Chains A and B, each alone.
Chain A
Amino acid sequence: MLDIVDLHAGTAATAGAPGTNGAGMTEILTGINLHIKAGEVHAIMGPNGSGKSTLAQVLAGRDTYEVTAGSVTYKGQDLLALSPEDRARNGLFLSFQYPVVIPGVNNIYLLQASVNAIRKHRQQEPLDAVDFLVLVREKIAEVQLDESFLHRPVNEGFSGGEKKRNEILQMLLLEPSLAVLDETDSGLDIDALKVIAEGVNRYRRADRALLLITHYQRLLNYVEPDRVHVLMDGRIVKSGGPELARELEAGGYAPIQEALAAAR
């Protein structure tokens, strides 16, 4: 499904900033290798500022970041050559760590526009307002959000947890094949975490893959990952099975950092 090989990416540097390379870039991702097969769940953990969100945004095509080396193959095609909307239409979904507020645009309007944009790409008829309402009512119940959220401007005044539920609602509506969830479990109360986890499990299928970016073991108790990766300084420094997440939860990142330092 997804093959990331030696991916380097960064932003145009502020002059003289540390880590600036010859091309005037600040590198954030310094050589990522990651392979996800259909049906698998991978988790990425790592300290603040290690590059997790940057990886997610680069996969989604944000042009703030420039890819300086490496390749990303998604369903057999060169992902980096596609525009962000074409990536989305081809089934790549990103649940944003910080969902964006769009004043004046009602949530239901954005949802319908995006469902129909993706249906169009799949050569399906667009859903009219009535059919869409039926669909969205079913899905919004699954994430236990009140229907009033459909008629409020996108993310405006939504609480942190409500924003995350709204992201999962979008995932359920769009039925992507690869979903990247960037800290969708952060800032949730215990019940909300369960709702999100159930949503994620409902999404799982043999032909769909998941990349969970998280700081906590909690979500992984509900959604068992096949692989867990530790991202530090823009690289994956350790990978393992579900037990790795439990080790990190207990001991933090210090043991890994020490081991890395000793190896140098």
Chain B
Amino acid sequence: MSDELKTIESITSQEYKYGFVTDIEQETIPPGLDEDVVRLISAKKSEPDWLLEWRLKAFRHWTKLQAAGAEPTWAKVKYPPIDYQKIVYYAAPKSMPALSSLDEVDPKLLETYAKLGIPLEEQKQLAGVAVDAVFDSVSVATTFKETLAEAGVIFCPFSEAVQKYPELVRKYLGSVVPYTDNFFAALNSAVFSDGSFVYLPKGVRSPMELSTYFRINAANTGQFERTLIIAEEGAYVSYLEGCTAPMRDENQLHAAVVELIVLDDAEIKYSTVQNWYPGDKNGVGGIYNFVTKRGACRGDRSKISWTQVETGSAITWKYPSCILQGDDSIGEFYSVALTNNYQQADTGTKMIHLGKRTRSTIISKGISAGKGQNTYRGQVKIMPGAQGARNYSQCDSLLIGDQCSAHTFPYIDVRNASAQMEHEASTSRIGEDQIFYCRQRGISTEDAVSMIVNGFCKDVFRQLPMEFAVEATKLLEVSLEGSVG
């Protein structure tokens, strides 16, 4: 192997920078899952009966799936069987009760955020971003509520929405991702802990970008977020989600559900930067990230745009999708997924075209380094009624070193002959000759790799809000950086 390849390898085998554990007293219940646990979670949150009933139905469905061995196995990922009875399904920081300002938040928690480089206090001033921080299972801080309230935007923890806006939650919860959708969605529906709720009434454009930082901390606590965003006619919101997690040995299960609903002329832009603990160099530990994200463009001329930068987790299983029901509605998916060391990612999207002249765009950039495995799995379905539908898909893979792999599985199902479909795919390797060319121009191997990787991702980064783009660029650098020999 040449020196350049060796250097690239040492660059890509760097360890996770964000590993630490916060010592905050936790209120937890013993591990295990049965109906009583579901009831207990619901009771802790003083939920209405209809919600408890819904959770129980989900739980019974999940139990059936589990008995039938229906945990999905089609993804190109490998992991030992998960013992669902060993997982703790509820944990909340003890010093929890109603906080009216940041000052009341446990200083340790604020310290944790500071270590992550996302101090809440600065976030407030910075860029006018409202932050609803989810620490483990319960939301502990919500900022900028007033400005948002003035504009008519509802942005609050999911559990608060259940209390304050039960009719909205009841109307939309499970309407895009029913609990019967898949194994992990059923599990989430039964035991979801908290998450975010956003509601934009007719004609309201959010005056700021909404952002939530998620964090998994308590040992062996599965994290089951539930996010619901509804944009009424003509409304607009850009929602950012970013996360890192502490160093852990045990694998931690994360099974979130995100549902988006967009009515006539409304738009939701949903951006994610995901940097959960990927496991160590030898593939020990790391987060299992099994997420169901789906949006319904119910209205005419409505639009949903998913942008994701996935650099973390041991396993990522995630397909943010769009159901394009309204005529002239638009679905977009922009993705960068990086796998390093022993990370595995099976990610992509589904675009279901139902309405006339619906359009979708898929730009997927997979980067594999070390022994990483990266799979793009996408489905574009044009239903008979989708006259004049169009799709453009582009799936590019970049390989760094010679021990990683990339796979592409595009599924295309066209049932209306008027559809226009375009698919492009490419695989390239960062070549020794490219690195040498850069070095001959005075640029170090490390900088050359990061320059080429950033160039590869720029069509996706361009979609991210400014601060997020900067963070994403840094993240890729950190994920690929190391001691250059």
Binding site for B on A (CB under 8 A): 60-64, 83-85, 87-89, 93-94, 96, 99-106, 109-110, 113-114, 117-118, 121, 153, 170, 174
* A110 touching B438, Cβ below 8 Å: yes
Contact A104/B458 with A63-B2, A118-B442 known, Cβ cut-off 8 Å = yes
* B439 touching A83, Cβ below 8 Å: yes
Binding site for A on B (CB under 8 A): 2-4, 428, 431-434, 436-445, 447, 451-452, 454-456, 458
Contact A105/B455 with A85-B442, A121-B442, A170-B441 known, Cβ cut-off 8 Å = yes
Contacts of A64 in B (CB 8 A): 2, 432
* B442 touching A153, Cβ below 8 Å: no
Contact A63/B3 with A104-B452, A104-B455, A117-B443 known, Cβ cut-off 8 Å = yes
* B443 touching A60, Cβ below 8 Å: no
Which residue of the partner chain, among B3, B444, B454, contacts A85 with CB atoms under 8 Å?
B444
* A103 touching B428, Cβ below 8 Å: yes
- In the assembled complex, the CB of B11 is this many whole angstroms from the nearest CB of chain A, namely 14
Contacts of A117 in B (CB 8 A): 441-444, 447
What are 14 of the A-B contact pairs (CB < 8 Å)? A60-B440, A63-B4, A64-B2, A64-B432, A85-B445, A88-B439, A100-B434, A104-B456, A104-B458, A109-B451, A117-B441, A121-B442, A153-B455, A170-B441
**Chain B residue at minimal CB-CB distance from A119:** B442
Which residue of the partner chain, among A94, A104, A105, A121, contacts B440 with CB atoms under 8 Å?
A94
Contacts of B431 in A (CB 8 A): 100
**Chain B residue at minimal CB-CB distance from A64:** B2
Contact A102/B442 with A84-B436, A96-B437 known, Cβ cut-off 8 Å = no
Residue from A87, A100, A153 whose CB has the most chain B CB atoms within 10 Å: A100
- In the assembled complex, the CB of A182 is this many whole angstroms from the nearest CB of chain B, namely 11
The 10 closest A-B pairs by CB, nearest first: A104-B455, A114-B441, A105-B455, A117-B442, A84-B439, A100-B437, A88-B442, A118-B442, A85-B439, A104-B456
Contacts of A121 in B (CB 8 A): 442
Which residue of the partner chain, among A63, A93, A105, A118, contacts B451 with CB atoms under 8 Å?
A105
Residue from A89, A103, A121 whose CB has the most chain B CB atoms within 10 Å: A103
Contacts of B3 in A (CB 8 A): 63
**Chain B residue at minimal CB-CB distance from A95:** B440
Contacts of B458 in A (CB 8 A): 104
Q: How far is the CA of A176 from the CA of B455 in the complex (A)?
A: 27
Contacts of B438 in A (CB 8 A): 102, 110, 113-114
**Chain A residue at minimal CB-CB distance from B451:** A105
**Chain A residue at minimal CB-CB distance from B458:** A104
Which residue of the partner chain, among A104, A105, A114, contacts B442 with CB atoms under 8 Å?
A114
**Chain B residue at minimal CB-CB distance from A113:** B443
Q: How far is the CA of A84 from the CA of B439 in the complex (A)?
A: 6
Contacts of B443 in A (CB 8 A): 85, 110, 113-114, 117
* B441 touching A99, Cβ below 8 Å: no
Contact A113/B2 with A83-B439, A104-B452 known, Cβ cut-off 8 Å = no
* B440 touching A88, Cβ below 8 Å: yes
* A174 touching B451, Cβ below 8 Å: no
Q: How far is the CA of A161 from the CA of B167 in the complex (A)?
A: 69
Which residue of the partner chain, among B437, B442, B444, B447, contacts A99 with CB atoms under 8 Å?
B437
Q: How far is the CA of A107 from the CA of B387 in the complex (A)?
A: 42
**Chain B residue at minimal CB-CB distance from A101:** B434
